[in-house]
Amino acid sequence: MRKPLHGIINITQSMRNDIENPLSSKQERRTSLLIHISNHLSMLLDDLLDISKLNDNAIKLKIEKTNLSTISL
């Protein structure tokens, strides 16, 4: 699932970066939205794969206290 999704992102980005055939402002907005949604789907897929690995005990969850003020986004 990841390869086709990244293919969509790459093709859309190449359309946006095509100097010889620039997009209209409407097409630019639509391709930006497509890339944004595709990136969110990619992160969701990564989360689902992590959950699957946790369920299969392929990775172990390490629970510990964390100081949230030290985490930067």
Residue 68 above 70 pLDDT? yes
> What is the DSSP secondary-structure string of 59-71?
S--------GGG-
**What pLDDT, on a 0 to 100 scale, did the predictor assign at position 62?**
84
Question: How far is the C-alpha of 6 from the C-alpha of 16, rounded, in Å?
Answer: 15
Question: How many other β-carbons are positioned within 10 Å of the β-carbon of residue 61?
Answer: 6
**What pLDDT, on a 0 to 100 scale, did the predictor assign at position 20?**
95
Question: How many other β-carbons are positioned within 10 Å of the β-carbon of residue 4?
Answer: 8
Question: How far is the C-alpha of 59 from the C-alpha of 56, rounded, in Å?
Answer: 8
Where in the chain are the domains? 2-55
Q: What is the pTM of this model?
A: 0.71
Q: What pLDDT digit, counting tens, does each position of 31-63 carry?
A: 999 999 999 999 999 999 999 998 998 988 788
